[in-house]
Every structure is written in structure tokens, then in C-alpha cells.
Structure 1
Amino acid sequence: MECIVHFEVQYKQETKELRGLIFLDEGEKPTEKDFLLMFEGMGYKLRLTDPENLVFTPIVPSSEYQRIRIRRLDTGEESYQEDRELKSLISNLLPKDSRPI
């Protein structure tokens, strides 16, 4: 089974959104080792610093990038993922006090 990894690479001046690919057995979920091997194959030497938010930082201090964060995983199955930015935008646009028409 293929797992498309959507991630962002944060540089000093910009953030780039990229994708990677991990091959898994049916029903498996990617592990830290899977992510590190994928990134290593792309030329990134990293360590996992925030497992809850899947944030990786470079091992080499002189790296051009500051961190990499995995945004979502796509295994081809339907899944719900809350879009925090959209939710925040909508909550700011809707009136605070709701009253009947």
C-alpha cells in the first residue's frame, strides 16, 4: 500500500510544501523509522523532536532548513481531517451572538 506524506519544509525566508512516498503492508501505519528513511532518501538528515505534531529538525546544524512538519498522510482511504485554519477563519467571520431572524 502506498502512503503519500504531505509535509512542509521551513526555511528562514519561506516554507515549501512537498510530498513523499512510503510503501507499507496493507493495514499498517508509517512509523518514525519509515519517515526518517523517506526523508533520508530525499537528502534530509533529521530527528523527530515533536512526535505528537510530527515535527522533525535537522541533525546537521548548518542545514539550510530549520524544521520539517508532516501535515497529513494520504493512504487512499477516506478520512476526516479538521482544517484548523478554515475553522478559525469561519469562526471570525460569523457573528458572535446569534439571534433569530
Structure 2
Amino acid sequence: MECIVHFEVHHPHEVKELRGLIFLQEGQVPSEQDFLSMFVEMGYKLRLEDKDNLVFTPVDPAANYSKIRVRRLDTGEKSYKEDTELRSLLSNLLPKESRPL
């Protein structure tokens, strides 16, 4: 199964929207290693900075971009798109620390 990865590359003065492709088994979701392998094939050497938001940062400090953020995954079936307003609302409503009841 093909998974089209829609992502944005944050440069100092602009943000470029690009796409990549990951091949998966049927019903499988991309792993951290799948993303990293795809980016390496595209010439980006990255590490996962924020697993929840799928934000990657360059390993090389001389890179001409500050981060790469995955925006959407398209498998041809169901589409994943982050709802930033819902995430913001939930992060403000949920307690910052978990405590026992």
C-alpha cells in the first residue's frame, strides 16, 4: 500500500510544502523509521523532535531549514489531517500534570 506524506519544510524566510512516498503493508501505519528513511532518500538527515506533532529537526546544524513537519498522510482510504484548533482546545482543557484520584 502506498502512503503519500504531505509535509512542510521550514526555511528562514519561507515554508515549502512537499510530498513523499512510503510503501507499507496493508493496514499498517508509518513508523518513525519509515519517515526517517523516506526523508534520507530525499536528502534530509533528521531526527524526530516531537512525536505527537510529527516534527523533525535537522541533524546537521548547517542545514538551511529549521524543521520539517508532517501535515497529512494519504493512503487513498482514510485521510489523516491534524485539527490544530481541536489540539489547542484539548491542551488547554486537560491538566498539565496527572495526579492520582
Q: CA deviation at 1:78?
A: 3.1
Give the aligned residue type for 1:27: G
Match of 1:77 in 2: 77
**Identity rate of aligned residues, in percent?**
68
* Residue type at the aligned position of 1:20: G
Contact 2:72 2:80 in 1 (8 A): no
Structure 1 segments (4+ residues) deviating >2 Å: 78-85
The number of equivalent residue pairs is 85
In structure 2, stretches of 5+ residues that fail to align are 86-101
- Provide the aligned C-alpha RMSD in A: 1.5
> What is residue 8 of structure 1 aligned with on the other side?
8
Change (3 A) 1:28 1:61: same
5+ residue gaps in structure 1? 86-101
Mark the CA change 1:82 to 1:64 in structure 2 (over 3 Å): closer, same or farther: closer
Q: TM-score, normalised by structure 1?
A: 0.79
After superposition, the C-alpha distances for 1:24-61 in whole angstroms (9 at most, x for unaligned) are 01010000000000000000000000000000000000
What is the CA deviation profile of residues 2-40 of structure 1, one whole-angstrom value per residue up to 9, with x for unaligned ones?
A: 000000000001000000000001010000000000000
In the alignment, which residue of structure 1 is the partner of 2:93? none
Q: For the structure 1 residues 82 and 22, does the alpha-carbon distance in structure 2 shift closer, same or farther, using more than 3 Å as the test? A: closer
